[in-house]
Amino acid sequence: MAGPLSSLTVVEFAGIGPGPYACMMFADAGARVIRIDRPPVGNGVADGLFRNDGFVDRGRQSVAFDLKQPAGVQAALRLIEHADVLVEGFRPGVTERLGLGPEVCLALNPRLVYARMTGWGQQGPYANMAGHDINYIGLSGALYAMGPEDRPPLPPLNLVGDYGGGGMLLAFGALAAIVAAKATGRGQVIDAAMTDGAALLMAPLYGMAAKGYWRDQRGTNFLDGAAHFYGTYECADGKFVAVGAIEPQFYRSLLDICGINDPAFNDQWHTQAWPALRDKLAAVFRSKTRAEWAARFDGTDACVTPVLSMGEAPHHPHNLARATFAMTAAGAQPAPAPRFGATGSSLPAPAPSAGRDTRAILREVGYESGAIEDMLRSGAASQSADGT
């Protein structure tokens, strides 16, 4: 069954982080995604880490063009002319210098959605400065809010800036612009910045702060680990459970299943008592293994679940029942989400090698065989050994 985006063609300039993540979402939902790779050069460990061949790169076709050569730029423009979306993650001004900027591309393809992914945005004092997820979320107020009160802020992997505030923001922006383009026939430029996206993810917390329900001090609030009823606890076997019993009825269930009759627990929102109550609850959870607690809490409304490792998560019964992970020869990988009732989607093909589809796609956009071979000989294009 074709996915809901099966009518879309996306051209992606190869990169790392949020741009590829957004394009994975497009491919997972059925879009045709053609990635423009750089011709492989081979740089040891760094090349292995940043090569576009991971789970996030699934579902693509790949061409390899040297965009420093005019023939490579012209080939890229041929692809862009027939695309619905272009995704690029260079620093501001790079595509303009290459001759592939929005003005050129929109003149060639007026309905194109030109989606730009950066950390700091296309303008502002930091626009041309290097950075990574940790820097972008640091500027948004998100990083400051994470971690214990008595320790430095704790990076939440690179989920908040790169993927939630970056890739998903870009995908949403591109789809919104596609809807507008279908109505007007005109595309537009999307300026998606991870700093903006991370700040947007913080909207509920800024809202709670405005109403007086959130302190601008790490480790003192009910969602940041300070509350005894919202956090993680170590069990007798050194494994952990996650507790999220916020609502009073869920909190009551937590206490009942834990066998807690201590009246000190009765005032759930007495913040000064939270540290002592956390210590008491920690002693309770250390009395049994994670598996024993899981058995007690499964099927209840106490909001207590095991904290699973990446190795364990794909094998949990709930994840197995929903096929949350796809078991492949390369290992367990997260399956496409969300689920579509009428236009289903399935796990796309594994990531292609750089340049696997160069010849085939150049033929598709009108290049003659002789011209293709000339590009390959000059290095303006590259074809991988497993291509056709």
Q: At what angle do helices 194-201 and 203-210 cross, to 10 degrees?
A: 50
The residues near 124 (Cβ < 8 Å, ≥ 6 apart) are none
pLDDT at residue 93 is higher than 80 = yes
pLDDT at residue 45 is higher than 60 = no
Residue type present at position 78: R
The average pLDDT across 247-271 equals 97
**CB of 23 closer than 8 Å to CB of 60:** yes
Cα 83 to Cα 66: distance, rounded to the nearest angstrom: 20
Cα 367 to Cα 21: distance, rounded to the nearest angstrom: 30
pLDDT at residue 281 is higher than 60 = yes
pLDDT of res. 48: 67
Give the catalytic positions in this structure. Answer: 132, 162
pLDDT of res. 270: 97
Mean pLDDT, the chain, whole residue set: 95
pLDDT of res. 363: 97
Cα 85 to Cα 185: distance, rounded to the nearest angstrom: 13
Q: What domains sit in the chain, N to C, each tagged with a CATH number?
A: 9-201+328-382 (3.40.50.10540), 230-326 (3.30.1540.10)
The average pLDDT across 356-367 equals 97
The average pLDDT across 166-177 equals 98
Q: At what angle do helices 18-28 and 168-184 cross, to 10 degrees?
A: 60
The DSSP symbol for 350 reads P
Tokens of 262: 């201590």
Q: Where are the beta strands (DSSP E) in the chain?
A: 9-13, 32-37, 60-65, 85-88, 113-118, 188-193, 230-234, 240-244, 304-306, 325-328, 331-334, 381-382
Nearest Cα residue to 98 out of 23, 13, 173:
13
